[in-house]
Amino acid sequence: MSRSMNSEIVESFSQMVREKGIDRDRLVTVIEDIFGMMVKKKYGLEANYEIVVNMDKGDIEIFLIREVVDEVEDPTMQIDINTAREKSGEELDVGEEYVEIIDLTDFGRRLVSTAKQNLNQRIKEIEKDLIHDEYSDKIGDIVVGDVYQVRRNDVLINHNRTELILPKSEQISKERYRKGDVIRCVVKEVLRKGSGMPAVIVSRADSLFLRKLFEQEIPEIYDGVITIRKIAREPGERAKVAVESHDDRIDAVGACVGMKGVRIHAIVRELNNENIDVINWTDDIHLFIQRSLAPAKLMDVKVDRPTRTAKVHVDTEQASLAIGRNGQNIRLGSELTGYRIEIVKEGEEITKTMAEYEIDINEFIPEFGEEMINTLINAGYRTANDVILASVSDLLANVPGISIEQINDIIVEMKKAFAEED
């Protein structure tokens, strides 16, 4: 019985070494610790013992070591000479060590069962650490997995037998996922979830995903000849990417677009036909603002550096292009340049600013209640874009009592409000 129990325990953990990549030596140490605790519970804290784990043979051997004496004072540490000779069949002398192999059945079913539970718990802890460390190293990398469950607030993805979570807030809004779909995402963050497994959050909506797609599709970016200086993005709708070439012989925009647009089209298809504007980076802020509001043609740009605002004068016919649908172009241009852009129609006193295409967070009180909205405001989130552009980890850290599920609901509702305005 004990031999089969030994084999069963060792085989189950050998399987973990093979399937889950748990370090063999670390696993042996855990087994030694757990069985060592068993020995101490039965024979006392001072017991002298040795545990040998043989993964290849599928065996655990426990040796209790006692000193041979004439008269026993401490049964945990000593054995009388007659008993030692009788059990070992050897002519042992006083002062020598008597080594006895302890059968698992000697510990009793309750103690063995407790040991197995402790082993399973320790293995789960190791698994958590492995997943956390592995995917923390992968933050910013693209992973490919298959959808195995579509839920209301998120999609669960299988990647190398690890569950990845694609929250609604990190999905491209127009996309629909089905079980079995193979999708690409970027690893965004790894969150500890109490006693459960770490939550590996992936994204298709984050600008980092777009950046990594550029690196994959455009060798010059991967090699560092061209650098992406800034990205402004509204996932599934439109993005602006500012690029810079470090080689005068290479046109940054041309390299990113590719012959007949083949490179940029591969990225656009991956992002569900998201429009992508690639523009040349420049330190000349006037010129950069002009480029950021393309395709609109501007008449004049007046920059106030201390307040980081820019007044852009346009012909009346160009105003709608500069502003874009529901302020999308001016919003992305402001995000890309870091300046609050105001559009001034030539011949009119009225100016249009990015703020006019925002949604005040108080408008969502009917959906989420005054208490939640006040909590968000007190944490510094005053507009819908403040919340949408924040990371899940920042919201969890800054907003007391909020959950991932609540964050997903709020972001989805806010994005829906922008869509309805469109």
Please check whether residue 316 lies inside any domain of the structure.
no
Q: Is there a single domain that holds both residue 197 and residue 110?
A: no
pLDDT above 90: residue 45:
no
Final residue in a domain of this structure, among 134, 163, 192: 134
pLDDT above 70: residue 132:
yes
Lowest mean pLDDT among 4-13, 90-99, 200-209, 293-302: 4-13
Q: Is there a single domain that holds both residue 58 and residue 166?
A: no
Tell which wins on pLDDT, 283 or 414: 283
Q: Is there a single domain that holds both residue 264 and residue 369?
A: no
Q: Is there a single domain that holds both residue 172 and residue 229?
A: no
Tell which wins on pLDDT, 195 or 379: 379
Top mean-pLDDT range of 47-51, 211-215, 271-275, 332-336: 211-215
Work out the pLDDT band at 6, boundaries 50, 70, 90: low
Please check whether residue 335 lies inside any domain of the structure.
no
CATH number at 169 reads 2.40.50.140
Q: Is there a single domain that holds both residue 125 and residue 60?
A: yes
Final residue in a domain of this structure, among 106, 134, 162: 134
Q: Is there a single domain that holds both residue 89 and residue 159?
A: no
Q: Which amino acid appears at position 237 of this protein?
A: E
Task: Tell me the mean pLDDT in the region 374-401.
Answer: 82
Tell which wins on pLDDT, 415 or 63: 63
Q: Cα separation of 265 and 216, whole Å? A: 13
Final residue in a domain of this structure, among 154, 187, 203: 203
Write the pLDDT tens digit of every residue in 269-300: 999 889 999 999 999 999 999 999 988 888 88
> Residue 181 has what pLDDT?
92
> Residue 215 has what pLDDT?
93
Please check whether residue 343 lies inside any domain of the structure.
no
Tell which wins on pLDDT, 163 or 60: 163
For residue 204, what is the DSSP state?
Answer: S
Sign of CA dihedral 348, 354, 360, 364: positive
**Domain tally, the chain:** 4
Work out the pLDDT band at 350, boundaries 50, 70, 90: very low
Q: Is there a single domain that holds both residue 28 and residue 80?
A: yes
Q: Is there a single domain that holds both residue 232 and residue 123?
A: no
φ, ψ for residue 195, nearest 5 deg: -90, -5
Alpha helices by DSSP H, 284-364:
285-292, 316-323, 328-337
> Residue 349 has what pLDDT?
47
**Whole-number percent of the chain with pLDDT over 90:** 27
> Residue 22 has what pLDDT?
66
pLDDT above 50: residue 114:
yes
Q: Cα separation of 276 and 289, whole Å? A: 17
User: What 3 state SS string does 132-199 have?
Assistant: HHHHHHCCCCEEEEEEEEECCCEEEEEECCEEEEEEHHHCCCCCCCCCCCEEEEEEEEEECCCCCCCE
Please check whether residue 270 lies inside any domain of the structure.
yes
Residues in contact with 19: Cβ distance below 8 Å, sequence separation at least 6, in sequence order? 161
Residue 113 is part of which domain span? 2-134
**Nearest 10 degrees: CA dihedral of 229, 232, 235, 238?**
-100
pLDDT above 60: residue 2:
no
Helix (H) or strand (E) holding 344: strand 340-345
Q: Is there a single domain that holds both residue 222 and residue 236?
A: yes
Please check whether residue 194 lies inside any domain of the structure.
yes
Q: Is there a single domain that holds both residue 273 and residue 385?
A: no
Lowest mean pLDDT among 27-41, 253-267, 287-301: 27-41
pLDDT above 70: residue 118:
yes
Q: Which residues on adjacent β-strands are paired with residue 158?
A: 146, 163
CATH number at 11 reads 3.30.1480.10
Task: Tell me the mean pLDDT in the region 54-62.
Answer: 70
Name residue, tokens 């890309």: 336
Tell which wins on pLDDT, 41 or 7: 41
Give the number of C-alpha atoms closer than 13 A to the C-alpha of residue 285, restricted to the C-beta side: 16
Write the pLDDT tens digit of every residue in 60-91: 788 888 888 888 888 888 888 888 888 877 88
Please check whether residue 273 lies inside any domain of the structure.
yes
pLDDT above 70: residue 419:
no
Q: Is there a single domain that holds both residue 30 and residue 121?
A: yes
pLDDT above 80: residue 376:
yes
Q: 272: burial class by Cβ within 10 Å (0-12, 13-18, 19+)?
A: middle
pLDDT above 70: residue 346:
no
Please check whether residue 261 lies inside any domain of the structure.
yes
Please check whether residue 90 lies inside any domain of the structure.
yes
Q: Is there a single domain that holds both residue 8 and residue 83?
A: yes
Q: Cα separation of 358 and 17, whole Å? A: 53
Task: Tell me the mean pLDDT in the region 295-318.
Answer: 86
